[in-house]
Amino acid sequence: MYFHRFFYEPLAHASYLVGCSTTKQALIVDPSRDITPYLELAHREGMQITAIAETHIHADLLSGARELADRTQGTLYLSGEGEEGGYRWAKDHSHHFLRDNDSFTVGELYIQALHTPGHTPEHLSFLLSQNKTSPPLGLFSGDFLFVGDAGRPDLLEKAVGIKGSSDIGAQALYHSIQRIQTFPDYLQIWPSHGAGSACGKALGSLPMSTLGYEKHTNWVFQEPTRSSFIKNIQTDQPMPPPYFSRMKKWNCESLPLLRERPKPDHFKTEDLRQLDFGKDGFYLVDTRPAGEFLRGHIKGSLCLPHNRSFVQWAGWLLENAPPLVLIVEEKREKQIERDLAMIGLDQQIAGILLTSELTQFPREDLETTRDVEPKDIVQYVQQEDIQVIDVRTHTEWQNGHLPNALHLPLATLCQHLHQLPTGQPLLMQCKSGGRSAIASSLLQAKGYDVINLRGGWDRWVEEHLVTEQPIHTPSS
């Protein structure tokens, strides 16, 4: 048997290739939309991808199942559980809809489907054995069971708007957990997400585990009663990004192929200057590092640095945005397009402006953002001459904040503009200065007088400046 785990860090997504060493046939489990790594590995190992399996209809990324079926002519193995109407695009490809305890083979490998609902009604997990007569080796658990956690049951209600589905999912998840406890402790657990995913609240960073270890350490196996499990699995789950609703729909109904996406135009300075970004409906997104953006950028542009958080914040801030013009370094262009494609935002890219073109812009078209050290601003904060806007998460806020700060998390900042004071500068602050730079650009584009706190909370604490514990319930 050949086994390989792929991991896409920006979305903490894991997918797998498992191959039969005898027949050289391979199975891909829970592929992401960028199928190049699967094709390259299979080619390198002399394997043919003949099967593509998916544990459930994903909400956090676009599936690569249709891409792989289109490219390899492999057979799709998808869930036939849950409500009718899922995977409507599968009719154009060789496919099987699986129900509980159904099985299939890839060469000599034997794969059995287990219906493990809770995260979604249709969710399957896949038991893998060397052959039909050998005991199971491991479980592709998808978003059912993670290292240290289980899949959240509230996404259909919070992201898609199906009222009451969170309670129903939590009850189903409880029974799925009880069922899996009957399997042997040596069973390896191969989940589809790791730490950093929004599909759970306490995912561990280990890439895989065993069922026995999870029984001893994972909180979902420690809940004393059914009612306590149902309550706790729904408590303190992170807010789902707005793009989750679209992912569910696209993964269910119509997965656009990458080869079908429009090719963005390359703009020159004069092309861009002729566009009216308000009137023409374009959104200018600057992907340079935050420090470079603050020192000089095109007026009205959004700071969205291409780093490990790029896809996450693109999903929060660019959903339902007008056509995008991206400012990118030439060496990063393909990767940025690929990253946006993982959540379908490649469809919105109208144009590319290389960073080398910025030197051609007239000075009157550019602006800077004030970026200050904590020691240079502390007296104004204490005297309330400026308003501190803390854009960190609820948990970060609870651990302490700057004096007289207003808590408005970046993810929902634009929904709470009515809470911003007028007539005084706004000091934007996060943990280390990255999120606050994004927030500064959002508000500066809307005409607010903003200052970015360089180094953020970390720098403030390092310099032993005054802090406060929360004295009121922070905004959400």
Active-site residue list: 430
> How far apart are the two ends of the chain, measured CA to CA in Å?
49
Which residue type, as a one-letter code, is found at position 142?
A: G
Rounded to the nearest 10 degrees, the angle between the axes of helix 333-341 and helix 310-317 is: 60
Give the total residue count for the chain: 476
Give the residue from 308, 351, 316, 359 showing the smallest Cα distance to 333.
351
| Centroid of chain to Cα 143 | 14
Q: Which residues pair with 389 in a beta bridge?
A: 406, 428
DSSP three-state, residue 233:
helix
Give, in order, the Cα–Cα distances in Å from 40 to each of 15, 17, 259, 371: 15, 11, 18, 44
> Which backbone phi and psi does 13 adopt, to 5 degrees?
-105, 130
Q: Beta-carbon neighbour count of residue 444 at 10 Å? A: 26
> Whole-angstrom Cα distance, residue 274 to residue 164?
50
Question: How is residue 387 written in tokens?
Answer: 């308003």
User: Do the Cβ atoms of 150 and 117 come closer than 8 Å?
Assistant: no
User: Do the Cβ atoms of 368 and 342 come closer than 8 Å?
Assistant: no
Burial annotation 460-474 (CB, 10 A radius, 16+ → b, else e): beeeebeeeeeeeeb
Question: How is residue 249 written in tokens?
Answer: 């729909």
Q: What is the DSSP letter of 239?
A: P
DSSP H or E stretch at residue 16? strand 13-19
Give the residue from 151, 135, 146, 149 showing the smallest Cα distance to 60.
151
Q: What is the DSSP letter of 418?
A: G
